Amino acid sequence: MSDRPSENHLSQPTSTDVQTIYTNLRNIAQTESPPEVIDNFRRLFIEGREYKDLHIRSIVEKIVFSKQADRDFKLVLYQSCQILINYWYLESQLSEPIFALIELFENLPSSLVSASRRSSRWLQLVKNFSESEQYFKLKRFIKAIASPNVNDIKTSESLGVLINRYPFLYKHCLLDENSHIEYQRTIRKMRSRLLRNFEVALAQYLTYRARLVQITRANQLSSTAGRLLRQVENPTLLNDDELKAVLKPFSLKPQTNWSAENVSIDFLTNPTHKLTYKTFKEDLYKYLISLVDSEYGKRRFNKQIFDKLQKILPDCHSQKLSEFLILRTHTQLLNFLLVESPQNLNHSLFTEIVANLGTTKAAIFFVKLVLLYPKIQPHLENRLSLLLNIMKRFLKKGLNG
């Protein structure tokens, strides 16, 4: 006789059933110690036995033997992990239980031969989850909250080690459409906090460096003067010369001429100007080619950009410039310059730009494009996340490694 409950025996799970599971997890997170919570989680979701609340266990069993078990069990397990992570990280400021929770899926039995049919089905669903993109996103969260040694960061070949350095990518690397609403809020708060902390740290470091320069110029630098300044560490992964090169193009300087770049900035910051879409694209072209090395531009880049702009909404050239036209043009440009879409991962032009300009100037190029029209920043972040996924495919160690 089969030990799997028949579909007639178990009704299909409902959204109310799922919410009951989530409520139960919140309750035990608040009332039990993290080791007890993790042990209960293992019994409920991984082993499928000996969970103290028989009603909750029966709901999970419904999901395991439902018609949509492959989809529903993965989703419930994904969001259940997020609920516990959310509580431990946001409410209790604990990281060790989060690591232990994710580690549960790293030590699953490799063989299912000796397991009963019921256990085999249950464990196979858990194994499927451990190999899913949802689980990899949870592992990336671990990397995001970890504090790796600075030397490890500088020498590592793993993108996973670097994820906590790029909070602007959290939305795309840590979340998806199935992420629990509470977990999404946690990620947004974490992202905002890390960005704010980095901005403060960078400002403090630049102030420290500026004061050192002032002392040097005044010929007052001595062992005593040096000790008066509290040393501030460079919060970036760049050395001082590299950081200076990155920041220099963004320093404020008096405008001495009415350049193509000035014109471009002017018409984007003053939308009341009665420009046609054709004129907008002409000025945007001048702005873009002003950001690249003239030799590279004349050899290839200028023509590529010109041809691409001509192909974007050509039937709208005579129309008055609108917000829709500006946004559509910039998003298509980013697709062209970085990577088209998840379905079309061609990124040859981006590789060419980096090879010809170098990483610093290439980064400055894209930052200045966003500064010109800040509304495209989310789209830039999305394209960069696609590029990271491409790199993950070709590297032995990826964001999840």
Distances (CA, A) of 13 to 49, 71, 125, 348: 19, 12, 16, 47
What does the pLDDT read at residue 334? Answer: 94
Q: Which residues pair with 320 in a beta bridge?
A: 276
Is residue 334 domain-shared with residue 206, that is, in the same domain? no
CA distance 36 to 183: 22
261 and 136 within one domain = no
pLDDT of 249: 78
Examine the domain organization and report whether 376 and 274 are in the same domain.
yes
Question: Could you tell me if residue 202 is inside a domain?
Answer: yes
Contacts of 84 (CB under 8 A, 6+ apart): 25, 29, 37, 41, 97, 98, 101
| Whole-angstrom distance, CA of residue 104 vs CA of residue 400 | 16
Rounded to whole angstroms, the Cα distance separating 175 from 203 reads: 30
> Alpha-carbon distance 283 to 305, whole Å?
12
For 42-54, the pLDDT digits (tens) are: 999 998 888 989 9
End residue of a domain, out of 124, 146, 168 = 146
Residue 117's nearest CA partner among 170, 74, 64 is 64
| Model confidence pLDDT, tens digit, residues 312-345 | 999 999 999 888 999 999 999 999 999 988 788 8
| 246 within a domain of the structure (yes/no) | no
Closest CA to 268 of 326, 312, 329, 335: 326
pLDDT tens digits, one per residue of 53-77: 999 999 999 999 998 999 999 999 9
Residue 22's Cβ-count burial label (10 Å; 0-12, 13-18, 19+) is middle
Q: What is the pLDDT of residue 262?
A: 52
Task: Look up residue 89 and give its two tokens.
Answer: 């990280």
Structural domain boundaries enclosing 302:
256-394
Question: What's the rounded Cα separation, in Å, for the pair 93 and 96?
Answer: 10
Domain limit, last residue, from 237, 267, 298: 237
Could you tell me if 94 and 38 lie in one domain? yes
Helices 96-103 and 133-145 sit at what angle, rounded to 10 degrees?
150
Q: Which residues of the chain are modeled with pLDDT < 70?
A: 1-10, 110-115, 147-161, 218-228, 251-274, 391-401
Q: How many CA atoms lie within 13 A of 17 on its CB side?
A: 19
Please name every residue paired with 276 in a beta bridge, in sequence order, or none if there are none: 320
**How many angstroms from the chain centroid is the CA of residue 187?**
10
Q: Let me know whether 281 and 335 are in one domain.
A: yes
pTM: 0.75
Q: Is 39 exposed, middle or buried (0-12, 13-18, 19+ CB in 10 A)?
A: middle
Helix (H) / strand (E) containing 306? helix 302-311
> Do 224 and 262 share a domain, yes or no?
no
Q: Measuring CA to CA, how many Å separate 237 from each of 166, 233, 389, 401?
A: 12, 11, 22, 21
Domain identity same for 28 and 142: yes
Estimate the share of the chain in helix, then strand, then coil, as percent rounded to the nearest 5: 70, 0, 30
- Return the SS3 of 157: coil
Amino acid letter for position 398: G
Instruction: Single out the residue in 97, 121, 146 at which a domain terminates.
Output: 146
Residues 6+ apart with CB under 8 A from 225: 215
Same domain (yes/no): 116, 213: no
Question: How many domains does one find in the chain?
Answer: 3
- Do 202 and 311 reside in the same domain of the chain? no
If asked whether residues 167 and 292 sit together in one domain, one would say no
Q: Are residue 301 and residue 191 in the same domain, yes or no? A: no
